A and B are shown apart, each in its own frame.
Chain A
C-alpha cells in the first residue's frame, strides 16, 4: 500500500501539516527534546522490559526463545471528549452483548424474532448447549472485554472485534504506562493524563462482586487459571494475579472437592470462589468438553451449574464475538438497548451467503478476508497487500470452505507517529480498551492497548506479526 500523507487520518497532524489539539503539549515537548536522548530512552525501554521478563513465546517457532513486543516511546493521545463518546459506545455495546448472551442461553427471543438466523447459533461451535438455562453468578457473562477499535477519521471509529472470551494485552497497557512514567516523569507533570493503574484493583473488585451468593469464603478467594509458563500470555497471567493478590493456578492445582472447586495448598485443599480463567472453553473441563485437555478441571462445569463457582468469563461467551455473529451486532445492539449503535460496525460480507461470496471472489484484491474462528492475524488475507500468487492460493481455500470466512473492506486506518531513526514517521494503529462488567456497572479504563504496525504502510498490528505497542493517553480535561 502506498502511504500518501493525505490518504490516512493521522492522529497527531490530521490530514495536513498542523497539530491536532490533543497533541499540542506533547508536540512542543517533543520539539524541545534532544533527538539523541529520545533514541537512548527507546533503547533503555527495551532493557527495562527484558529485565522485568515482559516477554512472550511465539507459537510454532522452532527455537523457543522469548521475544519482546517492541515498544514505541511516542504516546497515542486521545482527548477527554473523544474518550467520553467512545466509552458511551463501548458501554452500550458491552451491555448489549451481555443481554444477548443471557437471551441466547435462555428464551432466545432474538431468534424467535427472526433477527438472527437460527442455524448461525445452532451450528456454531462457540455456542455451548451445556450453558442453556444456567444463570451465571451476578448475572454477568463477560466480566472482561477488550473491544478492538480502529479509527478512520476525526469522528469515525469502528469496532473491529468484540473479544468477549479471554482478551489479553492489559498487562502491556499497565507496563507501558509504568515505563513512560519511569522514562519521562517530566512529561506527566505538564500533561494531565488519566491514570490506568486502578485496573487491577477494579478487576479484583469486579470479580469479587460476581462471587457466588453461597460462597465458601467471606472475602471471596479469587484465582487466575493459566495454561502455564509456556503459554504466550503467561507473563500477563502472573502479572494480574500478582497485582490482584489472587492465586495463580494451573488445572492440576485444582480439583472438585465436596461440590466446590478447591486448590491444593500446603495445608490441603481449600475452596475458591471465583476463577478468572485464561484457558479456552474447550479446555476448561475434560469431563464436559474436550476429554484430552490437561489444562482444565474435571467437573468444574457441574460446580458452575450448581452455582458454587464464578467463572470469568462465563463459558459460552465466544458465541458473542464470533466473526459470523459480528455482522449482526448493529441489530443486536438495537434489539437489546432500543438505541442505534453509537460505534460503527465494519461492513461485512458473510461468505456463507451465495451473493456475498460472489462479490468477495470478484474483489479479493480489495478486501480483507478472515477466518470466522481465527485470531492473532493468522490465516487472513489482506487483499491490497497480497501478491497475485497469494490471492490465487487464498481463493482456493475460500472456495473450498466459504462458510469459514468473512470479508471486509480495507479500512483506511488512522496513523500515529512512531520514533524512527529518521525522526517521527506515521504508522497504522488500532486500540483495545479494557472493559470490566459487574453487577455494580461497567467500568472502562481510560486508555487501553494501542497496537502499532511498525512496518511502513502495514495494516497488521498483531504482535505475532511484527506489531508493537504504545502507551495510550486519555487527557484529563
Chain B
C-alpha cells in the first residue's frame, strides 16, 4: 500500500481515539467539578493539562472555568485537538484513504462527522453535556465496529490499530502523569489529601471504574490503581495492553513485509522494560519519571513508524 495511505489510516484512527478520550476526560472533569465546587478550577486545569493543550488554552482563556474549558475541548476549531477539529481531520483522512476503506467504514466516519458537526454546532449547555459526550463516544464506537466487522486483516488494519493504541497509551499515561501525586504512596511528599473522588476520576477517565471493582476487592488504593492502569493486561486502556497490541500489530507487519525495521526493536524494548516489573519497583523508581519517560518513548515510536513505513516523502 501507499505510504501516504498508511499514514492517513494511522492518523485517522489516532484522531478518532483522541475524540473519544477527550469526551471521557470532560466527563470525568464534569463529575468531579459538580461534586467538589471548591476545587473545580484545579480539576479543570488538570483536564486541560491531560489533553495536552494547557498553553494554548491559557493564551485564549486564562481562567479554568467549566464552560470555557468544555467549549475549548469540544468545539474550538482553533484548538487542533478539540473534538470538532479531530473529527474533521479523521474524516478528511478518510476521504484521502477512501480506496483503503470498506464502504461501511467510510460511511461510519462520514456519518460521525455529520452527526458531531450537528451536535456541536452550538455551545453545549450543562444539561445537554451528558448526551453530547455519549454521542461522541458512540460515533467513535460505530467507526471501530465497522472497522472490526468489515475490514480485511491486512496491513491497512495493522496501521489503523497501531494509530489507535499509540494514541491510547499516550492518553492513559498522561492521565496518570497529571494526577500522579494522588497515587504516590507517601502523600506527605506533595502535601495533598488523597480521597476517593480523585481515584474515581482517574478510573472514569479510562472507562475503568466498573472493571476496577470487578478485579479488586476491598477499598481502592493508589498502588492497585497504578498497577491496574499500567500493568494489567486485561484492561484495554492499560499501558501493558496497548503495548501488547502494538507489538502484535508490528509482528503482523513483519510477517507480511518480511522485514523488521527499527520501530519494532523500539516497541519491544519499551514493552520489556516494564511489562514484568512489579508495580512497587515502578513506584519506588518514581512514577512521574516512569510516565514522562514512557510518553517521550511512545512519541518517538510513533515518529519511527512514520519513517519506517514511508508515510511522508
- A interface vs B, CB < 8 Å? 50-53, 228-229, 234, 238-239, 241-242, 246-250, 252-253, 263-268
Q: Are A238 and B99 in contact, with the CB atoms below 8 A? A: yes
Give the residue name and chain of the A residue nearest to B94 (CB): A53
Q: Are B95 and A265 in contact, with the CB atoms below 8 A? A: no
Q: Are A50 and B114 in contact, with the CB atoms below 8 A? A: yes
Q: Are A265 and B3 in contact, with the CB atoms below 8 A? A: yes
Q: Are B313 and A266 in contact, with the CB atoms below 8 A? A: no
Q: Which one, B103-111, B205-213, B219-227, B238-246, is touching chain A?
A: B103-111
B277 within 8 A of A: no
A120–chain B nearest beta-carbon distance, Å: 41
B1 within 8 A of A: yes
Dominant secondary structure at the A interface: mixed
Interface string of B249-274 (1 = CB under 8 A from A): 00000000101000000000000000
B116–chain A nearest beta-carbon distance, Å: 15
B76 within 8 A of A: no
B90 within 8 A of A: no
Residue of B3, B95, B99 touching A229 (CB-CB under 8 A) = B95
Q: Are B309 and A266 in contact, with the CB atoms below 8 A? A: yes
Q: Are A247 and B98 in contact, with the CB atoms below 8 A? A: no
- B interface vs A, CB < 8 Å? 1-4, 6, 92, 95-96, 98-99, 106-107, 110-111, 114, 155, 257, 259, 309-310, 313
Q: Are A266 and B1 in contact, with the CB atoms below 8 A? A: yes
Q: A239: which B residues are within 8 A, CB to CB?
A: 98
Q: B92: which A residues are within 8 A, CB to CB?
A: 229
Q: Are B110 and A241 in contact, with the CB atoms below 8 A? A: no
Q: Are A51 and B107 in contact, with the CB atoms below 8 A? A: yes
Given A51-B110, A264-B310, A266-B257, A253:B4 Cβ within 8 A? yes
Given A50-B114, A51-B110, A52-B107, A264:B95 Cβ within 8 A? no
Tell me the complex Cα distance, A30–B47, Å. Answer: 60
A203–chain B nearest beta-carbon distance, Å: 15
Q: Are B310 and A238 in contact, with the CB atoms below 8 A? A: no
Closest 3 A-B residue pairs measured CB to CB?
Answer: A238-B98, A266-B309, A242-B99
Query: What are 28 A-B interface contacts by the 8 Å CB criterion?
Result: A50-B114, A51-B107, A51-B110, A51-B114, A52-B110, A53-B107, A228-B96, A229-B95, A229-B96, A234-B95, A238-B98, A241-B99, A242-B98, A242-B99, A247-B99, A248-B99, A250-B4, A253-B2, A253-B3, A263-B2, A264-B2, A264-B3, A264-B310, A265-B2, A266-B2, A266-B257, A266-B310, A267-B259
Q: A234: which B residues are within 8 A, CB to CB?
A: 95
Give the residue name and chain of the B residue nearest to A252 (CB): B313
Give the residue name and chain of the B residue nearest to A270 (CB): B2
Tell me the complex Cα distance, A268–B313, Å. Answer: 11
Q: A264: which B residues are within 8 A, CB to CB?
A: 2-4, 310, 313
Tell me the complex Cα distance, A269–B155, Å. Answer: 17
Q: A265: which B residues are within 8 A, CB to CB?
A: 1-3, 310
Q: Are A268 and B2 in contact, with the CB atoms below 8 A? A: no
Other than the given A238-B98, A266-B2, 4 more pairs (CB < 8 A) read A52-B110, A242-B99, A250-B4, A266-B1
Q: B1: which A residues are within 8 A, CB to CB?
A: 265-266
Tell me the complex Cα distance, A264–B6, Å. Answer: 11
A222–chain B nearest beta-carbon distance, Å: 12
Q: Are B310 and A268 in contact, with the CB atoms below 8 A? A: yes
Tell me the complex Cα distance, A52–B106, Å. Answer: 8
Give the residue name and chain of the B residue nearest to A224 (CB): B99
Tell me the complex Cα distance, A266–B100, Å. Answer: 14
Q: B95: which A residues are within 8 A, CB to CB?
A: 53, 229, 234, 238
Q: A252: which B residues are within 8 A, CB to CB?
A: 4, 313
Given A51-B107, A238-B99, A264-B310, A249:B114 Cβ within 8 A? no
Residue of B98, B114, B313 touching A248 (CB-CB under 8 A) = B98
A297–chain B nearest beta-carbon distance, Å: 12
Tell me the complex Cα distance, A179–B64, Å. Answer: 50
Q: A238: which B residues are within 8 A, CB to CB?
A: 95, 98-99
Tell me the complex Cα distance, A53–B113, Å. Answer: 11
Q: A53: which B residues are within 8 A, CB to CB?
A: 95, 106-107, 110
A207–chain B nearest beta-carbon distance, Å: 16
Q: A242: which B residues are within 8 A, CB to CB?
A: 98-99
Tell me the complex Cα distance, A249–B8, Å. Answer: 13
Give the residue name and chain of the B residue nearest to A266 (CB): B309
| Interface-centre pick from A241, A252, A263, A264 (highest chain B CB count, 10 A) | A264
B132–chain A nearest beta-carbon distance, Å: 21
Q: A249: which B residues are within 8 A, CB to CB?
A: 2
A238–chain B nearest beta-carbon distance, Å: 4
A403–chain B nearest beta-carbon distance, Å: 41
